[in-house]
């Protein structure tokens, strides 16, 4: 038959009032589980990137895309190689030119021009062979140069074997020499 409701409630209450034995290692197990769980939304960007790098991925590429990527890589490599090539030294373009003057009565002759800052002390000419022959050798890069011979520190002479400088501004004669090449 049916028990009275109060008895049933009394039995349940007694059951619930009993002391429960808890495993002493439970706390440790729970904490280990919690530590092992991933941090929700808290992974750093570096950690995510590291994780992405360690996971295998599948890359899908169309043939056209592959060609474009290869072309881009080739351009980068070529640009790098172009930048790393050292420029050719300008000295390599210079050529030696010999200047000659016949001046039998001169005691000192200097070659003076755009190539030595018009400094009469920089390029003294040497008397060679014949007593009347004065020579000097100067390396010149491509360009157009005005020059003259300064004789005995008093007279200016143009080079009789070279064109006369038409754009002479100072009255004293000058010659011009053009060295080809370059751009």
- Interface residues toward another protein, by CB under 8 A: 112, 114, 117-120, 142-144, 146, 156, 163-167, 169-172, 174, 176, 178-183
Shortest separation between residue 99's beta carbon and another protein, angstroms: 16
Q: Rounded to an integer, what distance in angstroms lies between the CA atom of residue 69 and that of residue 38?
A: 37
Q: Contact at 8 Å (CB) between 146 and 174?
A: yes
Q: 24-52: b or e for each residue (b if 16 or more CB lie within 10 Å)?
A: eeeeeeeeeeeeeeeeeeeeeeeeeeeee
Q: Which is nearer to another protein, 19 or 121 (CB)?
A: 121
Compute φ and ψ for 132, nearest 5 degrees: -90, -10
Q: Which is nearer to another protein, 83 or 117 (CB)?
A: 117
Q: Which is nearer to another protein, 27 or 119 (CB)?
A: 119
Shortest separation between residue 106's beta carbon and another protein, angstroms: 18
Shortest separation between residue 97's beta carbon and another protein, angstroms: 13
Shortest separation between residue 165's beta carbon and another protein, angstroms: 8
Q: Which is nearer to another protein, 7 or 167 (CB)?
A: 167
Q: Contact at 8 Å (CB) between 146 and 113?
A: yes
Q: Contact at 8 Å (CB) between 159 and 113?
A: no
């Amino acid at each position: 038959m049916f028990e009275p409701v109060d008895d049933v409630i009394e039995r349940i209450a007694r059951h619930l009032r009993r002391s429960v034995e808890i495993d002493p290692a439970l706390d440790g197990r729970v904490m280990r589980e919690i530590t092992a769980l991933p941090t929700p939304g808290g992974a750093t960007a570096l950690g995510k990137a590291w994780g992405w790098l360690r996971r295998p991925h599948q890359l899908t590429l169309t043939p056209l895309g592959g060609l474009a990527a290869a072309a881009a890589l080739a351009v980068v490599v070529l640009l790098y190689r172009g930048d790393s090539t050292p420029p050719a030294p300008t000295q390599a373009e210079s050529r030696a030119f010999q200047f000659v003057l016949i001046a039998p009565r001169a005691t000192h002759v200097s070659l003076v021009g755009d190539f030595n800052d018009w400094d009469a002390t920089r390029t003294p000419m040497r008397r060679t062979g014949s007593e009347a022959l004065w020579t000097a050798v100067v390396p010149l890069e491509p360009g157009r140069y005005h020059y003259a011979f300064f004789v005995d520190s008093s007279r200016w002479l143009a080079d009789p074997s070279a064109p006369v400088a038409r754009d002479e501004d100072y009255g004293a004669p000058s010659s011009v020499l053009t060295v080809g090449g370059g751009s």
